[in-house]
């Protein structure tokens, strides 16, 4: 399904937008008065907000329905999406567990089998929990013997989790139920008597999706008892912004309590000795001065992945009570180059180390004394994950994927070191027709920034190629190669896909992250703008053919670049974005993002945020490019008010004829757990919007 590019269509007359009431709301920030006329849109429960959402959706879908290519795009995405999708299996007791989707099921199904090569039987099918597929599995944990499974579900994309317990043999749920859990896994005691989880207090009436969540609690649920009797294991009322998570070590002796303040990179670790009933929680690595992740232990010696003294991470061995870094044993040192030690697991009596090298994966093996014993050959430039299991396991499974290499599961024989394909998806496209390359371009200050380019082979550098530039640039999160059906459809239509690895991400460790947060956040926007300018200079594309896209913090990125350089882009699609930088901390877990953004609660923070806050840098009389803002009405991570207020302001300020539309998914959240049919519909609408506004014709 190829779409050739033609000249951008003549701009039609401006759309007639739904009326949005303005209210006299003014805040005073350190002597600066800031108007907020659409604050009423923050109330997701009000009839007026619901009517506004309905009116905006009516306009948007009427617009999208007029795009001739929309149906064909959705049909192609659906056809390409319809392939078997397996999750990597893992073993507990004598059973293996894995997820499986036949192709177009709204939610993946959990299977259990005693032979990993056999399909086995259904253990949990989330598709039976709701008619529209909006109840999703959000977490699961098996007892050591594989007899019981704790699992959590979320409704309509919300981050709230409800935990239940299922008997693996019978497939029946026990009476246990845990509510108001969030940002939590479940970790069973070695004997399967109960599990640890994290929760918040129940929200006030009407505030489940917007109310501030703080004072995280780590609790223990004993099997067969009501939640009201759960033991409070650890809390820090003196640190209301800490996240708390509990994990039982494989030997069953220690409860490892990990603590982090919001999304700060620094963390602390506390321990409880489960071999001594009633033992207190004790500090272990409690300085909150670096990242600390416990990989495994041998008695009271712990293997810890940390960036203490190593901004790109190292693996060290630390004995309990000997937490002075001078007494640590370094097992895997920080790399001499720019590589990041991204993850380490201990399986088959060896460390499996996953490195990130220029935003793609490499894997090496080390013995327990830190001597390198080999490496894993990967099939292409891409991303690996997995390598789970226990120290004594003879095998482990991992996934590998890239832009033109659908996610494939491999089995690694830990005795022979042999890696073989275990599950290989069959996707109806020809990877040989496409080319993937990595380039490096200079940002405004001269910093070299990597970027992946994917397109059909034989691309003509004539400046006429429709190009979608994607970025994120925040929270120490790297963007690495991965397979996407909707992206592949874009490429099949003749589009170019560019993914820029901006500062603020984790591609080169702590220093790269620090260079793109708080008072240095503008570097992220400069990197993205420089990527767009490079694509134009190199004649990959031109302004009328260039669209920008990003979600969440990436939605902020698109919003900020849209307001700073409205002349540079042919279209913009900010998704579930953080748009109101003065009030983000006032909703749900938004306060946790102060580590990246700072806060308008201080003069310095206010002055920095006011310079780039997308909502506050829009200006009347400016010609903005065609813009499609997307969000979900149940998004309780980045509440939809961000997108609503930005949309209303942009519609009011737009001086040109280009459309400003918002697509508000009903019964959907930030993205996790979104049913397949909703995901396909949304991606088809985004691509259809770009096809129309970048002037692509069949």
Distance of CA 411 to the CA centre of its chain: 26
Query: Can you tell me whether residue 398 is helix, strand or coil?
Result: strand
Vertex 619, ends 614 and 623: CA angle to 5°?
100
Q: Is 184 a catalytic residue?
A: no
Buried b (16+ CB within 10 A) or exposed e, 504-541: bbbbbbbebbebbbbeebebbbbbbbbbbbbbbeeebb
| Dihedral, 101, 105, 107, 111 alpha carbons, nearest 10 | -40
Instruction: Decide if 603 contacts 525 (C-beta within 8 A).
Output: no
Q: Is 670 a catalytic residue?
A: yes
Q: How many residues does the chain have?
A: 698
Distance of CA 293 to the CA centre of its chain: 19
Alpha-carbon Rg of the chain, whole angstroms? 25
77, 468, 477, 623 from 72: Cα distances, Å: 9, 19, 34, 31
Rounded-to-integer distance, Cα 100 and Cα 435, Å:
30
Q: Give the closest residue to 333 by CA, choosing from 308, 358, 301.
A: 308
Rounded-to-integer distance, Cα 150 and Cα 141, Å:
5
Rounded-to-integer distance, Cα 678 and Cα 645, Å:
24
Buried b (16+ CB within 10 A) or exposed e, 437-452: eebebebeeebebbbb
Would you tell me the crossing angle of helices 676-693 and 485-492 to the nearest 10 degrees?
Answer: 30
Q: Of 361, 552, 613, 643, which one is the catalytic site residue? A: 552
Phi, psi of 650 (to 5 degrees): -65, -40
Instruction: Decide if 452 contacts 437 (C-beta within 8 A).
Output: yes
Rounded-to-integer distance, Cα 389 and Cα 394, Å:
9
214, 220, 242, 459, 607 from 238: Cα distances, Å: 11, 21, 9, 58, 29
| Dihedral, 284, 290, 294, 295 alpha carbons, nearest 10 | -150
Q: Of 216, 360, 642, 670, which one is the catalytic site residue? A: 670
Give the number of C-alpha atoms closer than 13 A to the C-alpha of residue 13, restricted to the C-beta side. 2
Query: Can you tell me whether residue 578 is helix, strand or coil?
Result: coil
Q: What residues form DSSP beta bridges with 37? A: none
Expressed in angstroms, the distance from the first to the final Cα of the chain is 8
Instruction: Decide if 497 contacts 431 (C-beta within 8 A).
Output: no
Q: What is the DSSP letter of 570?
A: S
H, E, C per residue of 83-140: CCEECCCEEECCEEEEEEECCCCCCCEEEEECCCCCCCEEEECHHHCCCCCCEEEEEE
Q: Which residues are catalytic?
A: 552, 670
């Amino acid at each position: 399904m190829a779409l050739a590019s033609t000249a951008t269509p003549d701009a039609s007359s401006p759309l007639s937008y739904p009326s949005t009431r303005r209210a006299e709301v003014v805040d005073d920030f350190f002597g600066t008065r800031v108007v907020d006329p659409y604050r009423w849109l923050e109330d997701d429960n009000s009839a007026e907000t619901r009517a506004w959402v309905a009116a905006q959706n009516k306009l948007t879908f009427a617009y999208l329905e007029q795009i001739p290519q929309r149906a064909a795009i959705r049909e192609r995405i659906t056809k390409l999406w319809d392939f078997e999708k397996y999750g990597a299996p893992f073993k507990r007791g004598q059973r293996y567990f894995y997820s499986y989707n036949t192709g177009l099921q709204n939610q993946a199904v959990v299977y259990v089998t005693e032979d990993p090569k056999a399909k086995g039987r259904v253990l949990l099918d989330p598709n039976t929990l709701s008619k529209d597929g909006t109840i999703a599995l959000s977490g699961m944990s098996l007892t050591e013997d594989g007899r019981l499974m704790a699992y959590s579900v979320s409704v309509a994309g919300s981050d709230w989790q409800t935990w239940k317990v299922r008997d693996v043999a019978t497939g029946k749920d026990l009476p246990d139920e845990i509510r108001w859990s969030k940002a939590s896994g479940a970790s069973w005691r070695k004997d399967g008597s109960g599990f640890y989880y994290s929760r918040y207090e129940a929200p006030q009436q009407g505030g489940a999706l917007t109310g501030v969540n703080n004072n995280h609690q780590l609790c223990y649920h004993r099997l067969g008892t009501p939640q009201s009797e759960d033991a409070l294991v650890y809390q820090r009322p003196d640190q209301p912004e800490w996240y708390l998570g509990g994990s039982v070590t494989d030997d069953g002796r220690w409860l490892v309590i990990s603590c982090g303040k919001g999304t700060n990179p620094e963390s602390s670790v506390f321990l409880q000795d489960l071999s001594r009933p009633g033992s207190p929680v004790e500090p272990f690595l409690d300085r909150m001065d670096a990242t600390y992740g416990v990989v495994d232990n041998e008695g009271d010696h712990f293997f810890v992945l940390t960036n203490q003294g190593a901004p790109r991470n190292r693996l060290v061995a630390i004995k309990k009570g000997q937490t002075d870094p001078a007494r640590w044993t370094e097992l895997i040192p920080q790399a001499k180059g720019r590589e990041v030690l991204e993850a380490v697991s201990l399986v088959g009596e060896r460390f499996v180390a996953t490195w990130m090298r220029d935003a793609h994966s490499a894997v090496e093996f080390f013995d327990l004394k830190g001597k390198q014993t080999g490496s894993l050959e990967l099939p292409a430039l891409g991303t690996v994950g997995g390598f789970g299991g226990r120290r004594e396991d003879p095998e482990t499974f991992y996934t590998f994927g890239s832009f033109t290499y659908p996610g494939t599961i491999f089995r690694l024989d830990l005795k022979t070191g042999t890696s073989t394909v275990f599950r290989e998806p069959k996707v109806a496209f020809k990877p040989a027709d496409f080319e993937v390359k990595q380039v490096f371009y200079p940002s405004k200050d001269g910093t070299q920034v990597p970027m992946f380019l994917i397109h059909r082979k034989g691309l003509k550098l004539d400046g006429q190629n429709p190009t979608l530039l994607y970025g994120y640039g925040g929270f120490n999160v790297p963007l690495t190669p991965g397979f996407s059906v909707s992206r592949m459809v874009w490429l099949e239509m003749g589009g170019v896909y560019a993914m820029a690895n901006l500062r603020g991400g984790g591609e080169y460790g702590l220093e790269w992250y620090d260079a793109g947060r708080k008072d240095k956040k503008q570097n992220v926007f400069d990197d993205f703008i420089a990527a767009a300018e490079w694509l134009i200079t190199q004649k990959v594309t031109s302004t009328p053919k260039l669209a920008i896209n990003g979600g969440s913090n990436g939605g902020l990125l698109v919003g900020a670049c849209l307001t700073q350089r409205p002349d540079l882009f042919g279209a913009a699609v900010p998704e579930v974005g953080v748009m109101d930088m003065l009030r983000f901390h006032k909703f749900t877990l938004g306060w946790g993002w102060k580590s990246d953004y700072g806060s308008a609660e201080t003069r310095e923070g206010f002055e920095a945020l006011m310079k780039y806050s997308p909502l506050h840098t829009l200006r009347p009389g400016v010609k903005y490019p065609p813009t499609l803002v997307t969000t979900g009405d149940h998004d309780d991570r980045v509440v939809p008010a961000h997108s609503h207020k930005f949309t209303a302001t942009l519609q009011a300020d737009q001086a040109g004829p280009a459309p400003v539309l918002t697509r508000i998914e009903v019964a959907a959240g930030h993205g996790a757990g979104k049913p397949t049919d909703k995901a396909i519909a949304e991606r088809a609408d985004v691509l259809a919007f770009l096809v129309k506004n970048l002037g692509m014709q069949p």
